[in-house]
Structure 1
Amino acid sequence: MNYQENNATNTRSNSFIYSTAVSTPARAYPYLFFTIACLLLASIVQHVKALLTHAKRRSRLPPGPWGFPLIGSVFSIGLFPERTLDRWARKYGPLYSVTMGKELFIVLSSPDVVKDLVITNGNVFSDRQVNIRNHEVFAGRGVTATHYGDEHWRKHRRLSSVWLNQKAVDRYTHVLDFEATDMLKALYADSKNGTVALSPQTYEGRCALNNMLTIVLGTRTTSIHDPFIKTALRIAREFMNVSAPMSNLVDFVPLFLKKAFPWSLKLRGEKLHRDMMKLYGTMIDEIAATMASGTDVPDSLVKYLLSVRDAEALTDSDIKLLVCAFMIGGVETTASVMQWFTALIPSYPDVQRKAQDELDRVVGRGRLPTVADEANLPYVHAIIKEVERCFNPIWLGTPHATSQDFEYEGKLIPKGATVVLNTWSMQHSPDRWDRPLEFDPERYTSDPLLSSASVNSADPNARDHWMFGAGRRVCPGMLLAEREIFLVVSRLLWAFDMQEFEGRRTDLNRYDGLSARSPVPFVMRLTPRFEGVGEVLGRVG
């Protein structure tokens, strides 16, 4: 069964700019038109100069589609950009270039090229562009948004590692254990023995959110109906949509034009910054005030950052935006993997049954699976890897940028180019995978490595998938994410038979979200596998 259609390559043109009608005195119109004409003329002159320069350098660049003047290949990307990029990779090779407006993208579509450039030459290929993600949303702060090697990046990466390394994840595995169990209890109660059509998506989102709230802010939500959940999940999704590579046209126009017009996505980025600061910044201020009064607060990342603020010369913005990066990066993608699992598993009853047989043999029916069981559950482990291969939420990865000119196999990769890992092509390559569009966990049954270990494979072609990125910008939270996902997936398989609800089939070919993709809203039937499920859940948590 194909989980994506081969012919999903239709395109559409979208306008990302909105205009606002303004009442203007008639005498102001000539000045307004003159100003607009000057801006357009300046833009045309700038682009003509750029095109002439580009034409001279084009022969040295990696091959790729030419596109149109001023806009490049923006309108060639289409509704399913991953298919377009894959088609270009097959036409132009594993290293190609494509222009989007003013931006030059260098697209890496093979593991060997990724290793040669992003890993081996990480000092050149680890920078970030100035775009909505970095400028409007994170104000040049945060571990994901800052330029490689600068003061903010080094400091934030080091502080992040204190809370995301193996020792730290081991320290709060009990939090992940508790939240996975709490989610199971809520699903067990609300599914009413499989008689109610239930959507697990909000439950999974709340689970990922509560993990991060506890670790980062020392708090959690206590009900699936808490309005905080909807707000936090909306902010996480909005961040992914306004900062997506190749989905954000305002990132492709000259800087002076960005400032001259009210681009809708730019305004959304500014609003997102305000929303993040209002939601999480307010919570941080409250924790700081409590600590200043001499009252103890639960251990958390915020407590740690406030305690080392003077020693690390951290500003309020440093602390708040680093916390926001944790809350956004640690919720959306992790929840999306859980949601893709529950969306697709009803369509594969044989896969579900085989995993449940393995759980019965290894764990039994008298307790829940734990982290200690993972090494003895290779098929459950394989299911997770295959979900992440097939439905990587960040299908194009987070873009890198070059900090200097670089020549590779006779081709020039200029300074300032945006470098993207074409993870969809690498994870669906017929050279690596037999029947790459099919969901088949058997691919990984002989792969005992955790994904966090596979990232460091000497042979890039041996990596399980590319969901966590590569090189010096590899996801710092991957140890935490894979442990969360294992606990949720293994326990869902242990507790429930997951089936489609009558007449309400989940469409796996549709996505919710432009950049970080999760399934469209769906419902399913969750039926306890055996009578003792409720009793076991009642004893734990």
Structure 2
Amino acid sequence: MLPSSTKSLISLHLSPYPERVLQRWKERYGPLLSFWLGNQLFVIISDPVIVKDLIVTNGSTFSGRKPYFIKNQTILHGRTVTASQYGDKWRQHRRIAMTLLFPSAIHGYSHVIDYEALVLLRSLYHQGKAGQVAFNPTHYTGRFTLNNMLTISYGTRTDTSTDPLVQRALAFGNEFMELTGPFNNMVDFIPILQWLPSLIKRRAKAVSKGLIDTYGAMIERVRERMNGGSEVPDCLAKTLISIQEQEKLDQEDMCMLAAVFTLGGVHTTSSTLQWFLALIASHPEVQVRAHAELDAIVGRDSWPGVDDKQNLPYVRAVIKEVQRLHSPFWMATPHCTTADFVYNGMYIPGGTVVIMNCYAMHHDPARYADPWAFNPDRYYGDALSSAESSRLTNPMQRDHFAFGAGRRICPGMHVAEHSLWLAISRLLWAFKIEAVPGEPINLEEYEGKSGRTPLPFRVRFVPRHERVAKLLEKEE
């Protein structure tokens, strides 16, 4: 028995939390189910073994993209790694992006992420007046991730969390996530609506224009510097300009490649940092253990670096548990079949949208005891990076699916892991992160139709020892 078309349309479109609807359906109908929304057939996968069988092993069939009217056509114009159809164009865009995303390439700008982690700590210290004032850290985590991506993409950065570019970029990201959930736009499933005027179409066109205008102007500034003989650090824009003729890239290709590269990296990493702060402030017992490990291994004379990662298993476990319990995207970016396929007797026609239900897989009691609890111990001793974990033979042993799977796995996962490690390990080293008495942090509800972030909350960043202030001052 499968959910009816009418039930599917009403439940998924109207629910603010469609992943919870899919979780209930998984419990009733099983880990592989299908339903229709308007003119579109969906298949939902809620089991890691099935993910491997279909998305990974049969990636040539399951790596397509549905041309969603709002996201892929109206906002992204069918460009970029995330929106382009599986084929030569997609391979070209991914190859270009990966020139700056391979682990070996990260070493070239790791000092940038290191510096931005310092700026993050310094900003939180000063904004909170050394732990005396509670505040919402959202703009600070957003600026940290934005500056990382701006440097990688355009060789530039912002100086303050109130910089107009920070406000604009975060606003673009939030609006993009509000508009691009896999089920929340009726126009994507009832084609006649595409020809009628609507608010959502106007919003989508405004986001598209904003992305092209903002990030296109940044590419042109890089071009002007290059043409003027100025030294330009290696970055995505410089690469795109250098290979534009060779790769036959038009201006919109370049704008969308750079914009989505920046947009995706900012929202996902910032969201994970926000969830980390919300969870760690709500679980002081986890902080105590992390602080003890950092004091024993790193000490208080200097903060942790990349070389300390393998010696701090509990801090590593904290990061993985945050990504499991509150993944930035509960439903991975939809794949689409490029041909008919039969799996265990189930016929899946070409053109079917296939979605990994990360929410169900991350809260499966068969994999995780007490799956709703924040318990880093479940990852203690897991020394693999998420990239390494994604290649495990047994998919049931994979850490989490926050970065997707298969040929369209997130190309920026190495940068994200590097950034998260430096930020989280140093936040734990420097501060006791405290919730405000009488203001419990809501860990159940979250904002966003596509990407998920916590509801606004306030915390205090209390320096753990006198070396924190001295080290921040020393690095001024």
Indicate whether the TM-score tops 0.5: yes
Question: What's the counterpart of residue 293 of structure 2?
Answer: 358
CA shift, 1:298, in A, is: 2.8
Question: What's the counterpart of residue 535 of structure 1?
Answer: 470
In 1, distance between residues paired with 2:174 and 2:391? 29
The aligned runs of 1:213-228 (5 Å cut-off) are 213-228=150-165
Partners of 1:73 and 1:101 within 8 A in 2? no
Question: What's the counterpart of residue 257 of structure 1?
Answer: 193
Partners of 2:100 and 2:235 within 8 A in 1? no
In 2, distance between residues paired with 1:473 and 1:504? 40
Deviation per CA, 1:21-58, whole angstroms, max 9, x where unpaired? xxxxxxxxxxxxxxxxxxxxxxxxxxxxxxxxxxxxxx
CA shift, 1:447, in A, is: 1.1
CA shift, 1:362, in A, is: 1.0
Amino acid at match of 1:100: L
In 1, distance between residues paired with 2:367 and 2:152? 38
Question: Is 1:234 paired with 2:171?
Answer: yes
- 2:159 is paired with a residue of what secondary structure? coil
In 1, distance between residues paired with 2:341 and 2:208? 34
In 1, distance between residues paired with 2:351 and 2:80? 20
Question: What's the counterpart of residue 144 of structure 2?
Answer: 207
Question: Is 1:148 paired with 2:86?
Answer: yes
In 2, distance between residues paired with 1:196 and 1:521? 16
Deviation per CA, 1:489-533, whole angstroms, max 9, x where unpaired? 111100011111122221111101111000111111111001111
Match of 2:114 among 177, 201, 212: 177
In 2, distance between residues paired with 1:503 and 1:279? 41
Match of 2:348 among 410, 413, 428: 413
Percent pairwise identity = 45
Amino acid at match of 1:292: N
CA shift, 1:323, in A, is: 0.2
* TM-score normalised by length of structure 1: 0.86
Question: Is 1:345 paired with 2:283?
Answer: no
Deviation per CA, 1:57-76, whole angstroms, max 9, x where unpaired? xxxxxx520132xxx61211
CA shift, 1:460, in A, is: 0.5
Question: What's the counterpart of residue 130 of structure 2?
Answer: 193
- 1:486 is paired with a residue of what secondary structure? helix
In 1, distance between residues paired with 2:201 and 2:409? 27
- 2:99 is paired with a residue of what secondary structure? helix
Question: What's the counterpart of residue 364 of structure 2?
Answer: 429
Question: Is 1:294 paired with 2:232?
Answer: no
Question: Is 1:67 paired with 2:2?
Answer: no
CA shift, 1:113, in A, is: 0.7
Amino acid at match of 1:184: L
Question: What's the counterpart of residue 315 of structure 2?
Answer: 380
CA shift, 1:143, in A, is: 0.8
Which 4+ runs in 1 deviate beyond 4 A?
none
In 2, distance between residues paired with 1:456 and 1:240? 28
The aligned runs of 1:31-110 (5 Å cut-off) are 63-68=1-6, 73-77=8-12, 78-110=15-47
In 2, distance between residues paired with 1:381 and 1:521? 26
- 1:420 is paired with a residue of what secondary structure? strand
Partners of 1:250 and 1:263 within 8 A in 2? no
Question: What's the counterpart of residue 384 of structure 2?
Answer: 449
Question: What's the counterpart of residue 248 of structure 1?
Answer: 185
CA shift, 1:310, in A, is: 1.4
Amino acid at match of 2:43: I
Question: Is 1:335 paired with 2:270?
Answer: yes
Deviation per CA, 1:319-342, whole angstroms, max 9, x where unpaired? 111001111111001100000000
- 2:83 is paired with a residue of what secondary structure? coil
Amino acid at match of 1:112: V
Partners of 1:198 and 1:526 within 8 A in 2? no
Deviation per CA, 1:322-373, whole angstroms, max 9, x where unpaired? 0011111110011000000001111111100100000011111011110110
RMSD after superposition: 1.2
Partners of 1:369 and 1:490 within 8 A in 2? yes
In 2, distance between residues paired with 1:263 and 1:407? 39
Match of 1:500 among 428, 431, 435: 435
Question: What's the counterpart of residue 394 of structure 1?
Answer: 329
Question: Is 1:157 paired with 2:105?
Answer: no
CA shift, 1:93, in A, is: 1.0
Partners of 2:323 and 2:402 within 8 A in 1? yes
Deviation per CA, 1:230-282, whole angstroms, max 9, x where unpaired? 1101111211221111122221112x4312x1232222211110010111111
CA shift, 1:210, in A, is: 0.2
- 2:169 is paired with a residue of what secondary structure? helix
Amino acid at match of 1:65: P
Deviation per CA, 1:131-163, whole angstroms, max 9, x where unpaired? 1221111111101100011x3211101001101
Question: What's the counterpart of residue 373 of structure 2?
Answer: 438
CA shift, 1:450, in A, is: 1.0
Partners of 1:281 and 1:320 within 8 A in 2? yes
**Structure possessing the higher radius of gyration over alpha carbons:** 1
Question: What's the counterpart of residue 66 of structure 2?
Answer: 129
CA shift, 1:388, in A, is: 0.4
Deviation per CA, 1:211-232, whole angstroms, max 9, x where unpaired? 0001111110011221211110
Deviation per CA, 1:81-132, whole angstroms, max 9, x where unpaired? 1111011111111110021222111000101111111011000000001112
Amino acid at match of 1:141: R
CA shift, 1:377, in A, is: 0.5
CA shift, 1:540, in A, is: 2.9
In 1, distance between residues paired with 2:350 and 2:141? 41
CA shift, 1:203, in A, is: 0.5
In 2, distance between residues paired with 1:93 and 1:219? 49
In 2, distance between residues paired with 1:280 and 1:488? 26
Amino acid at match of 1:430: P
- 1:144 is paired with a residue of what secondary structure? helix
Amino acid at match of 1:135: Q
Change (3 A) 1:477 1:95: same
- 2:82 is paired with a residue of what secondary structure? coil
Match of 2:409 among 462, 469, 474: 474
Which ranges in structure 2 are unaligned for 5 or more consecutive residues? none
- 1:128 is paired with a residue of what secondary structure? coil
CA shift, 1:79, in A, is: 2.9
Question: Is 1:525 paired with 2:460?
Answer: yes
In 1, distance between residues paired with 2:297 and 2:161? 32
- May I ask how many residue pairs the two structures share in their alignment? 473
Amino acid at match of 2:57: T
In 2, distance between residues paired with 1:502 and 1:348? 14
Deviation per CA, 1:158-202, whole angstroms, max 9, x where unpaired? 001101001111221111100011110111111112111121111
In 1, distance between residues paired with 2:29 and 2:437? 46
Moved more, 118-127 or 262-271: 262-271
Partners of 2:143 and 2:166 within 8 A in 1? yes
Question: What's the counterpart of residue 34 of structure 1?
Answer: none
Partners of 2:328 and 2:452 within 8 A in 1? yes
